[in-house]
Amino acid sequence: MKALQDKIIKDGKVLSAEVLKVDSFLNHQIDPELMQQIGQEFADLYKDAGLTKIVTIESSGIAPAVMAGLILGIPVVFARKRKSVTLTDNFYSAEVYSFTKQVSSDISVSKDFLNKDDVVLIIDDFLANGEAAKGLLSIVEQAGATTSGIGIVIEKGFQPGGQALRDQGHRVDSLAIISSLENGKVQFA
């Protein structure tokens, strides 16, 4: 997606050969216009998939997911990273190892918002080792629902998550795929 690539080049900061910081438009401050374009892109890709729900993970997946949900006219459910007192034992959960925080944590989704009749698009901001996507896939599976695909805003193609998910037969649609962050430079696949 050209507008996203341009934005990454203009405002992204390469923190290391592995980490890209995009907190001026996606991870902290949010660019609503770009999010709307991203949502439209996901909506176009999945308009015939018979989706009933989008599932994402807090917090950075929410903005692109809501935009896609708005255009497709379906609800957006986000997995919570912290246990809420209002989430009693009525939830699906999975353990996710965080690439950026380097700790494992449980994510959970209430059983009220996902069931076996749902057809789901999973959306997340980044794809690195695929841990977050794996956790979300597990939650959809626990609900007996169907995952139609995985929509990613920025995939780091030099890390193994995307390949592993595709090898498992999942449909993965990434709007920007970075092939390298070496020498402080962003290169696209």
Residues near ligand 5GP (CB under 6 A): 19-22, 27, 60, 99-100, 124-133, 161
Is 49 labelled as part of a ligand binding site?
no
Please tell me whether 132 is known to bind a ligand: yes
The token pair that represents 141 in the structure block: 């599976």
Q: Is 164 annotated as a binding residue?
A: no
Q: Rounded to an integer, what distance in angstroms lies between the CA atom of residue 81 and that of residue 100?
A: 14
Least CB distance to ligand 5GP at residue 25 (A): 11
Residue nearer to ligand 5GP on the CB measure, 136 or 143 = 136
Tokens 């699906």 label which residue? Answer: 92
DSSP state of 87: -
Tokens 């939650």 -> residue: 139
| Strands 76-79 and 146-156, bridge-based pairing | unpaired
CB nearer to ligand 5GP: pick between 110 and 160: 160
Question: What minimum distance in Å lies between the beta carbon of 100 and ligand 5GP?
Answer: 5
User: C-beta of 167: minimal distance to ligand 5GP in Å?
Assistant: 15
Q: How far is the CB of 52 from ligand 5GP (least distance, A)?
A: 23
118/125 with CB nearer ligand 5GP: 125
Please name which of 53, 3, 11 lies closest in space to residue 28, comparing C-alpha atoms.
11
Shortest distance (Å) from residue 107 CB to ligand 5GP = 10
Burial class (CB in 10 A: 0-12, 13-18, 19+), 10: exposed
Residue 27 annotated in ligand binding: yes
* 134 is annotated as contributing to ligand binding: no
Confirm or deny that 133 is annotated as ligand binding: no
Q: CB count, 10 Å around CB of 130? A: 24
Instruction: State in Å, rounded, how far the first CA of the chain is from the last one.
Output: 12
Which of 91/126 has CB closer to ligand 5GP?
126
* H/E run at residue 36: helix 32-46
Query: Which residues sit in the known binding site for xanthine?
Result: 20, 27, 156
Q: Residues annotated in the binding site, as ranges?
A: 20, 27, 128-132, 156
For the annotated binding site for 5-phospho-alpha-D-ribose 1-diphosphate, the residues are 128-132
